[in-house]
Amino acid sequence: MTDDRLASWLTALVETAAPGGAPARAGLTSQEALVRRATPSGAELALAGDVVVKLHHPRTDAAALTARLDAVALPALAPMWVQPVERRPLPAPDGRLASVWPRVEVLVEGADDHPWAEAGRLLAALHGAEPDGALTKPLPAQGGPARVERALTRMRALDHPARPALVDLGGRLLADAMTGPVRPTVVHGDWHLGQLARTRDGLRLLDVDDLGVGDPAWDLSRPAGFWAAGVLDDAAWETFLHAYREAGGPAVPAHGDPWPHLDLPARCAVFVATVRALTVQPAHSGDPADALLEACARM
């Protein structure tokens, strides 16, 4: 299959997609030319005008993606999520699954004005949601350990001075993650600030690819790990954690030391981020590889 055929299919799809029930357009203007962009996760985004088509990673399971798209439309979850334009995944000509979304303002992780308190409250609301009775298909299990395993596989193939130490660390973390405690709630599965959008109705969650059921502490793992690594400042972490607790978030106790619940997921998040900074996007990573490597060395 040629890339031209996929590009033609994507162009036709964004021309007919209409966020919010607006009439379909007759064609793209020069200002709305189709732009395709790869993501570090292995997915691809095709953007034009007010529409985004996500071509999911080839390993994406159609039944799981369908269950996730169904779930975010439920009354218990819909107020927290950007809603898709199409309610079902579409088969792209190259065999990948595609989903269609409105174009929104995504938070940039390196900015200085992050809404940490609102983000904490939103995440607590997600973890407190109870959509089980309305689900037509069960949500998949939380994939934190699988993400550690994929990072470990990438690290084993990398020619880097830190490879032996990181492979050893990743193996130990994976063994612990596979036997860690289970306190299941609905979880985002890959939560960080880049998975949030500013909308006229407030902050909303993005990216359903890892939505599932599992230990909510994994959703706090990236900010927790980055704070422990010295990458996230005290004020941001404390604002986020306080708001999450005040909103009744179940990942940590309402009072006292949260770290017994966060330690393992936080270590895993730092390991995964380190491997990504070294292997997946070394030339464009927004993560500070040196600081993350130092944090891994301390583990």
The proportion of the chain whose per-residue pLDDT surpasses 90, expressed as a percent, equals: 67
User: Is it the case that residue 21 has pLDDT exceeding 60?
Assistant: no
> Nearest-CA neighbor of 66 among 97, 27, 24, 111?
97
Average pLDDT score over the chain:
89
pLDDT tier for residue 23 given thresholds of 50, 70 and 90: low
- Read off the amino acid at residue 210: D
Alpha carbons 266 and 262: distance in angstroms, whole number? 6
Q: Check pLDDT > 50 for residue 175.
A: yes
User: Which whole number is the average pLDDT over 108-118?
Assistant: 83
Closest CA to 96 of 5, 205, 25: 5
pLDDT digits (tens, 9 = 90+) for 49-96: 889 999 999 989 999 999 999 999 999 999 999 999 988 999 999 999
Mean pLDDT of 201-229: 95
Q: Which one-letter amino acid corresponds to residue 19? A: P
Residue written as tokens 């732009």? 35
> Does the pTM of the predicted model rise above 0.85?
yes
Question: What single DSSP character describes residue 81?
Answer: B
In tens, the pLDDT along 196-210 reads: 999 999 999 999 999
Residue 241 confidence (pLDDT) above 90: yes
pLDDT score for 82: 96
What's the rounded mean pLDDT across residues 216-233?
95
Quick check: 120 pLDDT over 80? yes
pLDDT at 282: 53
- Which domains can be identified in the chain, with CATH numbers? 3-103 (3.30.200), 116-298 (3.90.1200.10)
Tell me how far CA of residue 57 lies from CA of 76, 105, 209, in angstroms: 27, 23, 9
Residues contacting 123, CB < 8 A, separation 6+: 188, 191, 219, 220, 244, 249
Give mean pLDDT, residues 125-142. 84
Nearest residue to 263 (alpha-carbon basis) of 173, 191, 178: 173
Residue 284 pLDDT class (50, 70, 90 cuts): very low
Say if residue 261's pLDDT is above 80: yes
